[in-house]
Amino acid sequence: MTLDERPALAMRGVTKTYVDGETTVTALADVTLDVFAGEMVAVMGTSGSGKSTLLAIAGALLAPTDGEIEVDGRPLGKLSARKLAQVRRERVGFVFQDYNLLPTLTSLENVALPLDLGGASSATARSEARRALAAVGLRERASSFPDELSGGQRQRVAIARAIVGRRRLLLADEPTGALDSVTGEAVLKGLRERADEGAAVVVVTHDARHAAWADRIVYLADGRIVDETRASQPESLLTGGTL
Ligand SMILES: Nc1ncnc2c1ncn2[C@@H]1O[C@H](COP(=O)(O)OP(=O)(O)O)[C@@H](O)[C@H]1O
Ligand SMILES: [Mg+2]
């Protein structure tokens, strides 16, 4: 397999059980999923179906109970805690519903933070952060603080922070949950553009219109993938399906 044929994210037979006192909850059961560079996958399912658990395991925030995960061909199960932290920092970007921006830092400083923490020089971190802010259309708001931005702008700063340093795997957990539908649509379009530029994107969403930006939709129920569809291609609809 060449480098480009290798999935950016590979999950094989991933199971996660939470033990909470006397009760055991199976949050994920035997999930197998590949996501390639340039691909955007939407994950849908009712509350409690395991979506957030899937994303946390994909991004090495949480260890599975069973199964294997590879990010850019690196098997996470074999890595030390220190190496896992490095994979998270260098290869994985997270976007959450509530943005998770630091209120005392400007947009630029928030976006540069992962690179600063990774030991990049301040000049490199800032120039990469400027590039990432420009990519989400926020070049002009680099010195604004989070409370000076709209919800949609804050979420775009969070996306810039997730893509800074050209990380290949972008994981978004209900990134539009706190936004109105027009702004939410713009955030999804931004994630779509990152995929078109070569990132592997996994986005959890409740909204079928948002999921329509993805190449594939994966449906979870009780921790299992129960269905998978390819999103309809607008081009093939226009040309009567002859591509
Ligand atoms: N830290 C935890 N401890 C115990 N149970 C948990 C924990 N996190 C999630 N769960 C349970 O795991 C299942 C899947 O949760 P989650 O992945 O958050 O689903 P979703 O994001 O689809 O709502 C749910 O039944 C939830 O209650
Ligand atoms: Mg969730």
**Partners of 227 in the beta sheet?**
219
223: CB partners within 8 A, 6+ apart: 15, 16, 26, 27, 28, 29, 31, 49, 50, 53
Residue 194 vs residues 10, 93, 132, 135, 200: alpha-carbon distances, Å: 19, 12, 11, 9, 8
Three-state secondary-structure class, residue 64: coil
- 58 touches ligand 1 (CB under 6 Å): no
- Name residues with Cβ closer than 5 Å to ligand 2, which is an ion: 51-52
**CA-to-CA distance for 218 and 62, rounded, in angstroms?**
20
Mutate to test the pocket of ligand 1, among 17, 53, 173, 205 (most ligand atoms within 8 A of CB): 53
**CA-to-CA distance for 229 and 155, rounded, in angstroms?**
27
Residue 76 vs residues 89, 103, 131, 158: alpha-carbon distances, Å: 14, 32, 29, 25
- 205 touches ligand 1 (CB under 6 Å): no
Closest residue to atom 18 of ligand 1, CA basis:
52
pLDDT at 98: 81
What string of pLDDT tens digits covers the 243 residues of the chain?
A: 555 678 999 999 999 999 989 999 999 999 999 999 999 999 999 999 999 999 999 999 999 999 999 999 999 998 999 999 989 888 999 998 888 899 999 999 999 998 988 888 999 999 999 999 998 889 999 999 999 999 999 999 999 999 898 788 999 999 888 788 888 888 888 899 889 989 999 999 988 889 999 999 999 999 999 999 987 655 544 554 444
Three-state secondary-structure class, residue 230: strand
pLDDT at 236: 46
**CA-to-CA distance for 93 and 81, rounded, in angstroms?**
18
119: its two tokens: 């030991």
Q: Nearest ligand, CA of residue 96?
A: 2
CA 20 / ligand 2 centre spacing (Å): 18
- 22 touches ligand 1 (CB under 6 Å): no
The single-letter DSSP state of residue 77 is G
- Domains in the chain, start-ordered, CATH in brackets? 1-76+170-175+202-235 (3.40.50.300)
The CB density around residue 219, as the number of other CB atoms within 10 Å, is 17
Give the neighbor-by-neighbor strand order of the sheet with 23-35.
23-35, 9-20, 66-71, 74-75
Say if CB 229 and CB 69 are below 8 A apart.
Answer: no
pLDDT at 177: 80
Residue 53 CA: nearest ligand 1 atom is 17
**CA-to-CA distance for 114 and 162, rounded, in angstroms?**
9
1: CB partners within 8 A, 6+ apart: none
Q: Is 30 left (phi over 0), alpha (psi -120 to 50) or beta?
A: left
Q: What is the model's pTM?
A: 0.89
105: its two tokens: 């830092």
Q: Nearest ligand, CA of residue 43?
A: 1
Helix %, strand %, coil % for the chain, to 5? 40, 25, 35
